[in-house]
Amino acid sequence: MRPAFLARWALAAALVVAAGCSSNKGKLESTTWASTATTVNGEEIAAGAQRLQFGKDGHLFYTVAGKLYKGNYTLGMGPAVIFTLEEDLEGRKIHPHKIVIQGDQLTLTNADGKEVVFEKVN
């Protein structure tokens, strides 16, 4: 019984440490971001074509090409942020991202290495 207790305790401790190591904690909650004009894979994307809204409670609203996706976000280690959407986007609901915030600019990098730059909406 003791080894099982120690294993559960170690897992709980690791989760607490991992949750505390996000470089985005306190930067995403209750914020809204609009994409800047860019080109991805040769396709021009107009400013504001993508929008991110992060709720204080972990809820997420993500607009892509005029379609609203609802879901949740989870902060991971360092710049890692996981989007878990209610419906498929690009064939899946779970989307790992790297998010780096510098001032009023957010750079979102998906698992394929595609980057989209967003500006904070006041």
3 belongs to a structural domain: no
CA distance 108 to 17: 24
Among 22, 60, 33, 28, residue whose Cα is nearest residue 117: 33
pLDDT at 74 over 60: yes
107 belongs to a structural domain: yes
Scanning 20-73, the segments in alpha helix (DSSP H) are none
5 belongs to a structural domain: no
Per-residue pLDDT band at 11 (split at 50, 70, 90): very low
Scanning the chain, the segments in alpha helix (DSSP H) are 2-19
9 belongs to a structural domain: no
| Pairing label, strands 31-35, 80-89 | unpaired
Q: Which domain holds residue 85?
A: 23-120
67 belongs to a structural domain: yes
Residues 6+ apart with CB under 8 A from 95: 82, 83, 84, 85, 89, 110, 111
pLDDT digits (tens, 9 = 90+) for 20-67: 589 999 999 999 999 999 887 788 889 999 999 999 999 999 999 899
CATH number of the domain encompassing residue 60: 2.40.128.270
- pLDDT average, residue stretch 95-99: 97
Number of domains in the chain: 1
pLDDT at residue 122 in the model: 81
Among 53, 55, 110, 56, residue whose Cα is nearest residue 82: 110
pTM more than 0.75: yes
6 belongs to a structural domain: no
